[in-house]
Structure 1
Amino acid sequence: MEYIYGALLLHAAGKEVDEEKLKKVLEDAGVTPDEARLKSLVSSLKDVNIEDVIKHAAAAPVAAAPSQAPAKKEEKKEEKKEEKPEANEEDAMAGLSSLFG
């Protein structure tokens, strides 16, 4: 991610995104740059209009956070389970005896 952030920082400053400048930004940020990653990113961004990408990314819909309503429903279900009366031992034995006649 640091490489992308560095490229975006260079773009925002109005500088050309090239290996030398990106390497300098990363080093100043305390990151040891990997030459292969630098070359790969710079070559990937060569034909990309960063302004258009930023505009389209900002317009992308964001998923809404789930509401708290489902959590309340779950609490109600748990309460209902707790409210059920437990079957006593005599009822259980009566049910078992009916199985065997």
Structure 2
Amino acid sequence: MEYIYAALLLHAAGKEINEENLKAVLSAAGVEVDEARVKALVAGLEGVDIEEAIANAAMPVAAAPAPAAAEASGGEEKKEEEKKEEKKEDDTAAVAGLAALFG
């Protein structure tokens, strides 16, 4: 993964992605450089438009649908009740666990 990050860093800095630059970035990061992996990455990125690849890889975030007004008011009350019940159960379990420590 660090090899890809190094290539992306070089791209973001506007530097050429070549073996020498990749080795320099990886060495600066304290990564032991594997010559074969560097060569394979440079060869694999040859002719690739990185900006386009990033744009195609990014997944759009879908907005959650807004609940209807009637559902929203009723749903909030139910959520509050559920939270209160969960908190009571958690408190009871914690007290029971502590009591078990002291016999």
Task: Assess same fold via TM > 0.5.
Answer: yes
Deviation at 1:61, TM superposition (A): 4.7
Q: Specify the code of the residue in structure 1 equivalent to 2:49.
A: N
Tell me, in whole angstroms, the C-alpha distance in 2 between the residues paired with 1:62 and 1:42: 31
Question: Does residue 34 of structure 2 align to residue 34 of structure 1?
Answer: yes
Tell me, in whole angstroms, the C-alpha distance in 1 between the residues paired with 2:61 and 2:35: 35
Tell me, in whole angstroms, the C-alpha distance in 1 between the residues paired with 2:39 and 2:33: 11
Question: Does residue 12 of structure 2 align to residue 9 of structure 1?
Answer: no
Q: Specify the code of the residue in structure 2 equivalent to 1:16.
A: E
Task: Point out where structure 1 has 5 or more consecutive residues left out of the alignment.
Answer: 64-71, 73-101
Give secondary structure in 1 for the equivalent of 2:48.
coil
Q: How does 1:13-28 map to 2 (within 5 A)?
A: 13-28=13-28
Deviation at 1:57, TM superposition (A): 1.4
Q: Specify the code of the residue in structure 1 equivalent to 2:8.
A: L
Tell me, in whole angstroms, the C-alpha distance in 1 between the residues paired with 2:5 and 2:24: 13
* Correspondence for 2:54: 54
Tell me, in whole angstroms, the C-alpha distance in 1 between the residues paired with 2:6 and 2:61: 25
Instruction: State the TM-score, normalized to the length of structure 2.
Output: 0.57
Give secondary structure in 2 for the equivalent of 1:17.
coil
Q: Specify the code of the residue in structure 2 equivalent to 1:5.
A: Y
Instruction: State the TM-score, normalized to the length of structure 1.
Output: 0.59
Superposition RMSD on alpha carbons, in Å? Answer: 2.4
Task: Point out where structure 2 has 5 or more consecutive residues left out of the alignment.
Answer: 63-81, 83-103
How many residue pairs get aligned? The number is: 68
Identity of aligned residues (%): 65
